[in-house]
Amino acid sequence: MSKKLVIFLMSGRQTPDLAKAAVEGGADLIELGFPFSDPLADGPVIRRAAEAALAEGMRTKACLECLAEIRGRVQVPLVPFVYSALLEAYGYERFVADARTAGAGAILVPDLPVDSHSELERIQLVAPTSTDERIDLAAKTTDGWLYLVTLTGTTGARTELSSALAGLAARARRLSPPGLPLYAGFGISTPEHARAAAGIVDGVIVGSRAIEVAAGGSDDLRRYVSSLRAAIDAA
Amino acid sequence: MSSSSAQSAPPDEGHGLYGPYGGRYVPETLIPALDELEAGWRAAQADESFARELNELLANYGGRPTPLTLAKRFCGEKRVYLKREDLMHTGAHKLNNALGQIVLARRLGKRRIVAETGAGQHGVATATVCARFGLDCVVYMGVEDMRRQRPNVERMRLLGAEVHPVEIGTQTLKEATSEAIRDWIANVETTHYLIGSCVGPHPYPKIVRELQAVIGCESREQILAREGRLPEAVIACVGGGSNSIGMFAGFLDDAEVKLYGVEAAGAASLGSGRIAVLHGARSLVLADEDGQIADAHSISAGLDYPGVGPEHAALRDSGRVTYLTCTDGEALAAFERLTKMEGIIPALESSHALARALDIDESLVLVCLSGRGDKDLDEALAQLGRQA
C-alpha cells in the first residue's frame, strides 16, 4: 500500500484553488487550518498564516464555508485542524455536525489531550514525551489514524527529520491495534524528510513549508507537492 | 509552611477544575510534564524539608513577614491597612511564587527556567531566583511592555537573564505567555516553566495560589493582632489574579469579610469576559463570539491581560468575591494620592485596588499593596503630566 501524503493549508479565499493544486500534485488528504489568535502548538509560519487569515475574516463560519467549497473541488478526505477555543465558542457537537455536513471526515484538535473531552471523536495526537499508557489510550480512541508528533516542539520546518520519530513510531506500532495507520507530522519540510519518514510510518504530514510555498500560488504548490509525492513513492 | 493554613482548598483537586473552569487545554507534548509537576508538587507538600527550605528563603532572602501599614492620611474617614508586598525583595509579591517554584524546579532536577512577564515584576523575581540558584533563565516579554517597563528589563539583564522580545500580536503579556509556553513545549525535558500568575493548565493555578496564600495568612494574623477583629473588607487588584487569590485565600472561610477584586476597566475578564480557552485553561476571557482572544488595554502592564485565573471565575460565579473595575485615570489618581499622603509609591497595578478602597462602604479595609511603583515612574509621570 502506498504511503499517504497530507498537506496542511490555512483557510482563506485562495485555499480552494490551493487545495485543488495540492491534490493534483499528489496529496491524499488535506488538513485545513482554522485560524486561532493564540495557537500554542504552532511555530511562526502557521502563526503568521493564522493572523493573516483572521485579518481576512476567516472566522469559524467562513472556514466551514471554505471547507465546503474545497469539498466541491476535490475528492480526498478533508480534516479540520481546530483549536479547542473555537470549539468552546461554537459548541463541540455542533462543530462536528457542521464540519461533517461541510464535507469533513475527521477532525484534529491540537490542544485537547486524549483524556479530556473524550466524548469528542477525533484524530488523536501523541508525542515523543507521551507515556505508553497515553499512546495506548490514544490509539484505542483515535478516529481513523494516529498523528505522531515527531518532535518536542511547535510546528515548523527543521533542518533534519526528528530522530525521535523512529522510537515513537515503534512504541505506537507496538501499542496500537493491528492495522491502525500512523502518520507523522511537525518539522517535515523537504522531499528527503518525507522519504525518510515514509520509511517509518504510513503517512507524512507537511504544514509550514506547504504554507510558505502556497504563498507563491497554485503552480508552486503543485510542483512542491509533486516533489514530496515522488519522494514518498520512492521510499 | 505558612501557606498550609490557607483556607478553602479549591474544589476538585484531582482534575484542576473550579466548577466549569480550569483544566488542561495544551498539546499532548506537555501532559507528562504537567503530571510530573503535579506529582512533584504533591511530594513537596508532604515533605517538611520543602516547607523548611521555602520558609527560610521567604524570611531571610525575601523579607517576610511583610508589614501591615495603617494609611491614615490616604483615607481619613476609615481605617485602611496596606499589606506591604511592595517591601518584599524585588519589590512585589511575585517573589513568593518564584521562590516556591524554584525550590520545586530544583527538586524536579530542572536546570533551565522560562517565564513570561508583563510589568516585569515576575520576570525580575524569576531572574532573581535563577541568579540565587545558578540556573539558566529566559524571560519572554512583549516589546510594548519592554518599552513601558524599561528599568525592569535592565534589571533582568543585569541579573543574568536572557530577555526575549516578543514582537507578535499585541506585543504584551498575552503573547509573552504564549511564547513562554511554546519554549516550554520545545524544551520540556530540561526546562521548568515558572508561570507568574494563577493561570495556565492544571496544576499551575493551584500551585501559584498556594505559594501566594502566605499573603492572606499573614495578613489575617496581623490584622487580628492590631485591631482585635477581622477586616470588614479585603481588596486586591486582579490581572491574572495571583496577589488577590493569595490574599483572598486567608479570608475565604470568613463569611463576614467582604472580598473585592479590582480589574482594569479595559481588561475586565471577570466583568465583561466570556467563557473561552486561553493559555491552557478554560476561564473567563476577553474574547469574541468565535472564541478569538481580544486585546486588553490598561496603563498597567501587569493588568493588561485578557484572561484571569480559573478560581477567580468560580469565585465570581459563587458570589463570594465581588469584582469591580477601575479606569486608568482613577488608578493614576490613587497612585499620586498614596505617594503624596503616605510617602509610599505604589505600583500602578496596586493603585487600582487603592482607588476602589477609597469608595467602598466598609470602614475597616485591608488592601493588598502588591508592588512598588518605581518601575512605573516614566509611564505615570508622562500620563500625569498630560493631565496637568
- On whether both B228 and B305 belong to a single domain, the answer is yes
Task: Indicate if the pLDDT at residue A17 is higher than 50.
Answer: yes
Nearest Cα of chain A lies from the Cα of B23 at a distance, in angstroms, of: 9
A 70-129 near B (Cβ less than 8 A) = 83-90, 110-114, 116, 125-129
pLDDT in tens, A194-208: 999 999 999 999 999
Task: Indicate if the pLDDT at residue B15 is higher than 80.
Answer: no
Q: Tell me whether residue B116 is one of the annotated catalytic residues.
A: yes
Question: How would you classify the pairing of strands B281-285 and B274-278?
Answer: antiparallel
Considering chain A, what is the average pLDDT of its residues?
96
Q: Do B292 and A85 touch (CB under 8 A)?
A: yes
Chain B environment of A36 (Cβ under 8 Å): 291-292
- On whether both B367 and B279 belong to a single domain, the answer is yes
Q: Does A47 touch chain B (CB under 8 A)?
A: yes
- On whether both B164 and B177 belong to a single domain, the answer is yes
- On whether both B48 and B72 belong to a single domain, the answer is no
| Segment A223-227 mean pLDDT | 98
Of residues B302 and B285, the one with the higher pLDDT is: B285
- Find the closest chain B residue to A152 by CA distance: B186
pLDDT at A69: 98
pLDDT at B2: 41
Q: Return the minimum-mean-pLDDT range out of A35-44, B165-174, B270-279, B309-318.
A: B165-174
- Find the closest chain B residue to A126 by CA distance: B28
Segments forming the whole domain that contains residue B103:
18-59+94-204
pLDDT at B386: 76
C-alpha A46/C-alpha A52 separation (Å) is 10
Contact (Cβ atoms closer than 8 angstroms) between residue A14 and residue A63: no
pLDDT at B119: 83
Q: Do B292 and A153 touch (CB under 8 A)?
A: no
Which of A47, A112, A125 is the closest to B168 by Cβ?
A: A47
CATH architecture of A4-233: Alpha-Beta Barrel (3.20)
- On whether both B149 and B259 belong to a single domain, the answer is no
CATH code for the domain of B271: 3.40.50.1100
Contact (Cβ atoms closer than 8 angstroms) between residue B308 and residue B283: yes
Residue B384's pLDDT band, with cuts at 50, 70 and 90, is: confident
C-alpha A34/C-alpha A81 separation (Å) is 6
Count of residues making up chain B: 388
pLDDT at A101: 98
**Would you give the end-to-end CA distance of chain B in angstroms?**
48
Instruction: Calculate the dihedral angle through the C-alpha atoms of B324, B7, B319, A84, rounding to the nearest 10 degrees.
Output: 80
- On whether both B32 and B150 belong to a single domain, the answer is yes
- On whether both B225 and B148 belong to a single domain, the answer is no
Instruction: Pick the last residue of a domain from B204, B235, B256.
Output: B204
pLDDT at B14: 59
| Segment B240-255 mean pLDDT | 98
pLDDT in tens, B107-158: 999 999 999 998 899 999 999 999 999 999 999 999 988 988 888 999 999 9
Q: Return the minimum-mean-pLDDT range out of B11-15, B85-89, B361-365.
A: B11-15
pLDDT at B11: 47
pLDDT at B188: 92
Nearest to A142 by CA among A189, A202, A52: A202
* Any domain includes B8: no
Chain B environment of A85 (Cβ under 8 Å): 25, 276-278, 287, 291-293
Residue B71's pLDDT band, with cuts at 50, 70 and 90, is: very high
* Any domain includes B109: yes
* Any domain includes B13: no
Task: Indicate if the pLDDT at residue A32 is higher than 50.
Answer: yes
Nearest to B95 by CA among B146, B137, B58, B135: B58
Our count of domains for chain B comes to 2
Residue recorded with cell 467602598: B360
Task: Indicate if the pLDDT at residue B13 is higher than 60.
Answer: no
Which of B25, B29, B289 is the closest to A129 by Cβ?
A: B29
Write the Ramachandran bin of A198: left for phi over 0, alpha for psi from -120 to 50, otherwise beta. Answer: alpha
pLDDT at A27: 98
Q: Do A116 and B24 touch (CB under 8 A)?
A: yes
* Any domain includes B80: yes
Q: Do A85 and B287 touch (CB under 8 A)?
A: yes
Domain ranges of chain A: 4-233
Which of B28, B188, B291 is the closest to A149 by Cβ?
A: B28
Task: Indicate if the pLDDT at residue B6 is higher than 90.
Answer: no
Chain B environment of A156 (Cβ under 8 Å): none
DSSP-assigned letters across all residues of A161-190: --THHHHHHHHHHHHSPTT--EEEESS--S
Question: How would you classify the pairing of strands A203-206 and A182-185?
Answer: parallel
- Find the closest chain A residue to B281 by CA distance: A85
| Segment A118-145 mean pLDDT | 97
pLDDT at B9: 45
* Any domain includes B330: yes
Instruction: Pick the last residue of a domain from B204, B222, B255.
Output: B204
- On whether both B235 and B372 belong to a single domain, the answer is yes
Q: Tell me whether residue A31 is one of the annotated catalytic residues.
A: yes
- On whether both B140 and B181 belong to a single domain, the answer is yes
* Any domain includes B5: no
Residue B16's pLDDT band, with cuts at 50, 70 and 90, is: confident
Q: Do B292 and A154 touch (CB under 8 A)?
A: no
Residue B1's pLDDT band, with cuts at 50, 70 and 90, is: very low
Considering chain B, what is the average pLDDT of its residues?
94
- On whether both B54 and B68 belong to a single domain, the answer is no
Is residue A8 classed as helix, strand or coil in its secondary structure? strand
Give the percent of chain A with pLDDT over 90. Answer: 97
Residue B378's pLDDT band, with cuts at 50, 70 and 90, is: confident
- On whether both B68 and B165 belong to a single domain, the answer is no
- On whether both B217 and B167 belong to a single domain, the answer is no
Residue B8's pLDDT band, with cuts at 50, 70 and 90, is: low
Q: Does A170 touch chain B (CB under 8 A)?
A: no
| Segment A10-29 mean pLDDT | 98
Q: Do B25 and A84 touch (CB under 8 A)?
A: yes
pLDDT at B10: 47
C-alpha B248/C-alpha B181 separation (Å) is 27
pLDDT at B388: 61
C-alpha B271/C-alpha B290 separation (Å) is 19
* Any domain includes B4: no
Lookup: cell for B216: 492572606
Residue recorded with cell 515523543: A128
Residue B3's pLDDT band, with cuts at 50, 70 and 90, is: very low
Q: Tell me whether residue A202 is one of the annotated catalytic residues.
A: no
Task: Indicate if the pLDDT at residue B7 is higher than 70.
Answer: no
* Any domain includes B196: yes
Q: Do B27 and A149 touch (CB under 8 A)?
A: yes
Instruction: Pick the last residue of a domain from B181, B204, B227.
Output: B204
